[in-house]
Amino acid sequence: MSIRTSVLAFLFGGALEAVSRLLVATRPFALFFRTLVSPTPKLFMALDRTIRYGMVGGGPGAFIGAVHRSAAALDGEMDLVAGAFSSDPEKSQDQGDSLHLDPDRVYDTYEEMADAEAERPDGIDVVSIVTPNFLHHDVARTFIDRGFHVICDKPMTTTLEDAEDLCRRVDEQDVVFCLTHNYAGYPLVKQARALVEQGRLGDLRKIVVEYPQGWLNRRLEEEGNKQASWRTDPEKAGAGALGDIGTHAEHLARYVTGLSLERMCADVGTVVEGRPVDDDASILARYEGGVRGLLHFSQISAGEENNLRLRVYGTEAGLDWRQEDPHRLTLLTDINGEAPQQIFSHGRASLADSVQPFIRTPQGHPEGFIEAFANIYRSAAHAIAAHEAGVEPEPWARDFPTVQDGAAGVHFIHTALESSEQEAWVDAAYTAPHA
């Protein structure tokens, strides 16, 4: 790893961990401040206590674990009380110590954690799974079978068989399962969805979603970069760019438009010589109703950072949203008409009612990646609280990606690989198992 890469990883990872600890330590102030400045009323949980959660993965040097912990801590409604943070027991204990957890609740294995927490009267309500992809299924299955709710990073599994197995187990055990496609948590993504539902775009014609990154433009996996090493290992990651960022792009398009894929013609490949997984893909698609689609994602696009972008075009208007400028959503009006283009900005009371519960700060006060992630966690937490209390969750608390969304993402990966191998259009329609 280069000195520059090492410094950036240390600073960024350390900053996330510091934010997570600060949010936990200052929970009363955080709740007061949010009540003071929030443009929406405080959203009360169905339980008179916080949600207790444990984490599997997210040990020393991990990136996404700190993100999940920060997101879970932001609203003061979830407490991290247990963990199996690493396959190395010593590292797991070190991580638990750094998070000030009870040493008796920092476990050597996730199996031990599931068994022990199931026996405790104050055991966890939900497990957060932030391991490399190949472990997701076994970890989720272990906790689901003991009646625990699950929050899992994407992609949900590495095989469709495992994904559908989780769908069935979730239904059988009647637990909440949330998949962290966090970009669906941005308020203006939800506004884009509302515009489509309101018919502001007319009949949909074309969907264009792109997600270029440049961080794997060279073989960082050979330079000691931990994230690159497992994400480019087919045994641990499954697919490459398709699973890492392609599933985000596919879900974002489906979430906003409400349309599922029907057919696709994919060109999936490896650009960096010697890499054993895909790092670039372009897909022509047909969605329900004949809507045309273009999906592009790449991790070898030099200079790109995290440039997820969605454009949707209809008979009356289009929309354009970019993750790197998440506070703006453009409604593209017909250039042959008289209506001007419209810019929706963050925090406005004029945004759709369905968006309001997800606005955390007034207009002009930026929200970003962690807040969007926290919106997913908050919806899941309130859904879990409602489940435990035996009541129906509020509509906004149902607004998170589910186990069926996870299966759809895994099916997308395998269909794209099949299409690319055949160099042909293939059937992409899919319905995940559901009770």
User: What is the Cα–Cα distance from 188 to 197, expressed in whole angstroms?
Assistant: 14
Which sign does the torsion angle of CA 335, 338, 344, 345 carry?
positive
Q: Residue 15's pLDDT is what?
A: 52
The torsion of the CA quartet 113, 115, 116, 120, rounded to 10 degrees, works out to 130
Mean pLDDT of 283-290: 98
Query: Do the beta carbons of residue 140 and residue 115 sit within 8 Å?
Result: no
Residue 24 has pLDDT above 50, yes or no: no
310 strand-pairing partners: 209, 321
Chain center to CA of 415: 21
- pLDDT, tens digit, 9 for 90 and up, residues 373-420: 999 999 999 999 999 999 999 999 999 999 999 999 999 999 999 999
- pLDDT, tens digit, 9 for 90 and up, residues 79-101: 999 999 999 999 999 999 999 99
Query: Do the beta carbons of residue 151 and residue 380 sit within 8 Å?
Result: yes
- pLDDT, tens digit, 9 for 90 and up, residues 150-193: 999 999 999 999 999 999 999 999 999 999 999 999 999 999 99
Q: Residue 42's pLDDT is what?
A: 60
Grouping H, G, I as helix, E, B as strand and the rest as coil, residue 201 is coil
Chain center to CA of 298: 18
Q: Residue 29's pLDDT is what?
A: 43
Q: Which residue has the higher pLDDT, 2 or 142?
A: 142
- pLDDT, tens digit, 9 for 90 and up, residues 298-308: 999 999 999 99
- Model confidence pTM above 0.85: yes
